[in-house]
């Protein structure tokens, strides 16, 4: 193995996915993700969920909210298999996904552990967490009942 190959291998061993950017509005979401929990913002005033997080409820204007645990289950609303242009932080192709969670909010995410030919809009999904740079994690999705032995890819 050449030094360059060794270096490349070493690089691959550490997560290169960029860490999410934390703000006062979104920190609760990403802090939960590090703990392997998928959560959403639930308005204290009217009980509606919202995502992405925002400081004010657009329905009742409350600034108070609960952090609600979600089941992590949902269905594939849409997807795209991204080939180009490429960014060095990701392995291509990247499977981008829009996931409609059963609680009624939508996430931009990735599909994991599914062959391209098996991707179907409407397929049932469950959350797993992928590590990022700086020790954070983000929710990605795999088919419900995906072979445990195959694990997250």
**If you search the block for the tokens 């809009």, which residue do you land on?**
121
Closest separation in Å from C-beta 58 to other proteins: 7
Nearest to 121 by CA among 89, 91, 95: 95
**C-beta of 22 vs 144, nearer to other proteins:** 22
Site for other proteins in 56-75 (CB under 8 A): 58
CB-side exposure of 10: number of CA atoms within 13 Å? 7
Residue 78 found at the interface with other proteins (CB under 8 A): yes
Size of interface with other proteins, in residues (CB under 8 A): 37
Which member of 43, 140, 143, 146 binds other proteins (CB under 8 A)? 140
Distance CA 8, CA 144 (A): 33
Residue 88 near residue 12 (C-beta atoms within 8 A)? no
5: tokens are: 């190959």
Contact residues toward other proteins (CB under 8 A) are 17-21, 23, 26, 51-52, 58, 77-87, 89-90, 93-94, 96, 98, 106-110, 116, 121, 132, 138, 140
């Amino acid at each position: 193995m050449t030094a360059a190959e060794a270096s490349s291998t070493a690089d691959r061993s550490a997560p290169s996915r960029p860490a999410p950017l934390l703000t006062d509005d979104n920190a609760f979401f990403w802090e939960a993700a590090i703990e392997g929990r998928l959560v959403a913002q639930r308005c204290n005033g009217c009980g509606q969920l919202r995502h992405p997080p925002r400081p004010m409820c657009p329905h009742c204007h409350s600034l108070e909210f609960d952090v609600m645990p979600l089941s992590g289950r949902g269905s594939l609303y849409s997807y795209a298999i991204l080939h180009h242009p490429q960014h060095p932080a990701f392995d291509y192709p990247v499977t981008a996904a829009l996931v409609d969670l059963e609680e009624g909010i939508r996430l931009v995410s990735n599909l994991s552990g599914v062959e391209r030919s098996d991707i179907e809009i409407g397929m049932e999904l469950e959350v797993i967490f992928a590590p990022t740079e700086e020790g954070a994690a983000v929710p990605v999705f795999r088919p419900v009942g995906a072979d445990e032995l195959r694990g997250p890819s």
